[in-house]
Amino acid sequence: MDGCVFCRVAEGKAEARVLFADDEVVAFHDLHPQAPVHVLVIPRRHVASLAVAEPADAELLGRLQLACAEAARRTGIDGSGYRVVANSGAGAGQSVFHLHYHVLGRRHFTWPPG
């Protein structure tokens, strides 16, 4: 999608510190981390948010969840605990309208989240 920064990351046209990538997903370090470990996991295909995901996206959504777990393993936070967040819509804090998961770790998290 034209103008989408995460589409540009997925295409290799925007700079990012990529942790890993495959044919369907890209995991990269957040430019403005909210925790000592803060990785974003995105689909290569543009999906604006969970709100517009469809049943046909079920396999991709599962792949994204597995990629979040892989990001935790590769950053060493899988044993100590981590949080996975997906904001859907501006009211929930989504600022880039390309589906993405935040994988956060190495700090204490409270409940309920902010």
Active site residues: 100
> Residue 60 is encoded by which pair of tokens?
């991709």
CA distance 90 to 92: 5
**Sign of the CA dihedral 27, 59, 104, 81?**
negative
By C-alpha distance, which of 76, 56, 3, 2 is closest to 103? 76
Give the type of residue at 30: D
Report the C-alpha gap between 5 and 82 in whole angstroms. 25
